[in-house]
Each structure stands twice: as structure tokens, then as C-alpha cells.
Chain A
Amino acid sequence: MLGLVLAVGAPLGWHLGHRQPGALRPGTAVALATTPPSTAASGASAGSSGSASAGSGASAPVMPPSPIPIQSPAAQKAYPAPVRLSIPTLRIDAPVIAEGVAPDGQMAIPDDIHTLGWYKWGPAPGAPAGSVVIVGHVDSAVAGTGTFFTLRTIADQAAVQVRTADGRTHTYRVLSRQEFRKTSVPLAAIFARTGTPRLTLVTCGGPFDRATRSYEDNIVVTAVPA
């Protein structure tokens, strides 16, 4: 029961805690080379008294807080890309490369079945929120078994280590292992950029359709920072 409450409550709580209606998002404006340099200088004072009207909101509903913060051109913090993944209990240790979207709109997967693909448009390990997605082949028709051939046998609480380009190792513990028909995979949740930080490992499984040479299911393993 506690687990149930946690499962729903944790992301809900996080979401509510981070929503802050009316709060101002960190500045995301990017100044170009041709933009006057004043942008950076005025960014520092942003938000210091942004909630000035919060306490006296009764007087005039159509009145913004004062002053409106200036968007600063400070770049969003970039987190180093994952370069290697290991799951000692499954004797998996494989390189990870960045992948985007294939022309058909699906996630691009490395050609090499012994190389894993990290979804580069989503979070990287260490990011404060969202799902780090790493996908690996279960097998291929020509090359045999892939790195994630045994992923569907992973044990609860198994350790998953992800090394990032800066040399850091991020350790996760397996929380769940699920199987979905590809027609009903919760893609929005798997690729979410918000919510509890987590690692999502994906491969194929389930019945194999010999006509289309593809599996009908996705195996989805969710792990949380240890």
C-alpha cells in the first residue's frame, strides 16, 4: 500500500511542488552576437521581488507582480552524455552513443547490436528531472543476440551503472520491469522530461512477427538513482 501511495504520490508531489503558478521560468532567451550586451547585465536582478503582489492580490486581480524579471541569456545547464552502461548481474557492459529520431519518427537505434542508444533530446544522467532513455537491441536477424538480450530477466533492485562523458558513474536500482504491446507503449511517460529523475531501459520482446521481422512488445525497465 505504501508503495502504491509512493508510486502515484511521488511524481504528483514533485509536479505540484514544481509548478508554482505565476512563477517565472528561468530565462531561456539566447542573445545573439548581434544583440546588445545589456541583456546579461540586467538578468541578475530578475525575480528578486517577483511575488510582490502575491500578498496583496485582493486589491486588483488584473495586476502583474512588479517588476517583471528580464530573461537572462544564461544557457541551461548541460549534463554530460552517457558513454557506457553496465549491469553486473547480467554481465552487460556496453558503449552508449547519442541517438535522435529516425526519418519514420521512431527513435533511432544504433546499427551495431552491441552498442546502446541514448535518446539525446531527453535528459542525461544527473539531470534534476525526467527520464533518461537508453535503448538496446534484443537481437538482429543477421548478427544474433544483442546487448539487451537478457534485459527481460533483470531482477528488482539490480544495480545499473551509467558512465557519463565527464567520467562520473551514476548508479541506479531497478524499480520495475514491464512489457507493453508496441501499440500501447506509454511513450509520453517513457520520454518524459519532467517528473522524478529516472533511467528507462528499453528493448524488444514478446511475440515475433516473422512477416515484418519485428517484435510486438517493448520491454521497459525503470530504475531510480541509488
Chain B
Amino acid sequence: MKRIYAVLAGLFLLAAGLFAAGPAQAAGTASVSVVHGIPNTPVNVFVNGKSTLADFKPGTVAGPLQLPAGTYKITIFPAANTAGTGTPVISASATVAAGNNVTLVAHLTADGKPTLTPFANDTSAIPAGQARLIVRHTAAAPAVDVRANGAVAFKSLTNPNQAMANLPAGSISADVVLAGTSTVAIGPATLNLAEGTDTIVYAIGSASDKTLSLVVQTIDGLGSAPGGMPAGSGGLATTGGGIPMGVWLLSGAGALVALAAAGRRVRAVR
């Protein structure tokens, strides 16, 4: 019975291990999210001419969606335009490859023109206890520094670029300053960096219109297991490599019992 349990448990752990990596990326599809980073402009998003995101509000994240790999024609119209005809605010095509994790960001260029930028999201494994912080400059603003807990974490980030780092999981206070200065452009904001998770922060809006703000997207399930569990340093419970202490104790007890019995027998004989 014990052996059956051991086998059963082995298979259980094996099976659990096989699926520990989380939902597998379905073959031939890409994971796609959309971020709206243009202030004051609710929009309708059309993909290949079909209304896909109606009344998409600024500062929000849509998705993720598993899409077949391929090239998509994306047109974005003001929310009032529900037909998707006429001149779009943004017209772009985006190609997504199988297995990719992509975020399409509708945002302003450094000089304030609406555009669409695809970012590939890093979904590689994150070491146990850590979080990955990714900051993307998608605002109509000059170069910035990003500070975490008051110290500069990313220097001279420009639109439309990103910077990333692995940090210990937990809360940080983050703000965005004009590069090389301590003039705060956005924040400070408290960011909860969840363990094993990508926290992707988008600086959006326009400096000249005073509409700068942040949007946060997260991608979880990227964590790793710790490297081991060192739970003993005494050697009292040793087995296999020698005779364990317990056996010695048992042996000692046995010897005492034997001695006592022998003693009684000796007395009885007398």
C-alpha cells in the first residue's frame, strides 16, 4: 500500500510539475494587449475593418487576447465615429509572430502626434522573490529619468523607448523627472511590484497640455521556484548514510530492556 502511495505521489508531483509553468502558449498564436495613452480622446479601435474596442478610454489597458500570428490592420477613430469611416486618428499595421507577447500602445510622439507603437513584452522567467519593472516612455515629453524610492533607476529615457530591471518584489515609490533634473513630471506613485510578475508602466499624455500620467499593465505567472530548502543542520535525523540517531536510541533502549530481562532471569535462577 505504501509503495502504491509513493508511486501515486510521484506521478502527482510529476504531473503537477508538467503544468507548473502555467498555461502553455497555444501554438501559432500571440498574446496581444492594447494600451490607450492619448489623453481626452475616447476612441473606437477597428482591427481589419471590424470594430474591436468600442469607446476605449484613455489610460486603460485592454486584453490580453490570443490572436493567430499574422499582420493586422489597425485603425483608430474618435469614439463618436462608430462606423469606422473617414479619416482615422491612427492607421497602422502590426505584425505579431507566434509565441510573442505584444502590447500595442496608442500614444503621442515626443512632439505630440498620435501614433501606434508595438512593444514586445519580456515574459522570460523571473528569479524567485523578484519582480520585473519595465518603464515605457510613450508621452509627448522630452527625455526623463525614472526614480524608484528617490534614486534614479532609469536614466534619459526617450519616447518611444523602454528600460527594465529586476527588483525585489514589494512596493516602491516611483516618479518621473525631467532627465538630469529633480523637476517632477509625474508622480510620485506607489507601485506594487508583485513577485514573478512584469509590471509595465507607461508614461502617457502630453507635458505641454499638462496631461502626463501613468498607465500600468501587469503580466503574471513568470515566477520561479527558490533553489532549495535548507531545513536542518544538526545531523540528528540522518538516515541512509549511516545509522540514524533514532536507531541508536532504539538500540540503546533495547539493550537496556535486554539487560533488565537478563537481570531478572539471573535473579529467578537464584
Which A residues lie at the B interface, using CB under 8 A?
A: 3-4, 6-8, 10-12, 14-15, 18-19, 21-22, 24-25, 27-36, 38-39, 42, 60-71, 100-102, 104-107, 109, 119, 121, 131, 135-141, 143-146, 148-149, 152, 156, 175-178, 182, 185-196, 198, 202-210, 213-218, 220, 222
Contact = CB atoms under 8 A, between A and B. Distances in A.
A38 B59 contact: yes
Contact of A11 (B16, B24, B50, B68): B16
Nearest to A35: B59
Contact of B240 (A102, A177, A188, A206): A206
A205 B4 CA distance: 22
Contacts of A105: 127-128, 226-228
Contacts of A11: 12, 15-16, 18-19
Interface residues of B, number: 95
Contacts of B56: 70
Contacts of A148: 231
5 contacts: A7-B11, A67-B51, A176-B6, A176-B9, A213-B233
B214 interface: yes
Given A28-B218, A176-B9, A205-B239, A69 B62 contact: yes
Interface string B41-73: 000010110111111111111111111101110
B86 interface: no
Give the interface centre of B5, B53, B197 by most chain A CB atoms within 10 Å.
B5
A104 B227 CA distance: 8
B62 A68 contact: yes
A143 B62 CA distance: 55
A11 B57 CA distance: 39
B9 A101 contact: no
Given A7-B8, A206-B241, A208-B242, 16 more contacts: A7-B9, A7-B12, A21-B29, A30-B216, A38-B58, A67-B51, A70-B62, A139-B234, A141-B234, A176-B5, A189-B20, A190-B225, A191-B226, A196-B16, A207-B238, A215-B232
Contacts of A31: 59, 216
Nearest to A220: B13
Given A8-B15, A62-B48, A175 B5 contact: yes
B270 to A, nearest CB: 42
B190 interface: yes
B61 to A, nearest CB: 4
Contact of B13 (A143, A186, A205, A206): A186
A109 B239 CA distance: 22
Contact of A63 (B48, B129, B215, B226): B48
Nearest to B197: A28
B191 A32 contact: yes
Contacts of A140: 232-234
Contacts of A216: 240-241
A145 B246 CA distance: 12
Contact of A68 (B2, B5, B53, B68): B53
A121 B53 contact: no
A187 B228 CA distance: 7
Contacts of A18: 23
A38 B57 contact: yes
A205 B186 CA distance: 53
Cβ-closest 8 pairs across A and B? A207-B241, A176-B9, A101-B129, A139-B234, A204-B232, A189-B17, A208-B238, A191-B225
Nearest to A131: B16
B19 A15 contact: yes
Contacts of A156: 1-2, 5
Contact of B52 (A8, A67, A146, A215): A67
Given A106-B226, A144-B234, A189-B13, A35 B186 contact: no
A148 B232 CA distance: 10
Q: Which of A24, A68, A139, A209 has the most chain B CB atoms inside 10 A of its CB?
A: A68
Contact of B66 (A22, A34, A204, A218): A22
Contact of A189 (B16, B128, B220): B16
B187 A71 contact: no
Most buried by A among B12, B16, B61, B189: B16
A192 B8 contact: no
A137 B231 contact: yes
B22 to A, nearest CB: 6
A29 B64 CA distance: 11
Nearest to B170: A100
A6 B216 CA distance: 41
B123 to A, nearest CB: 13
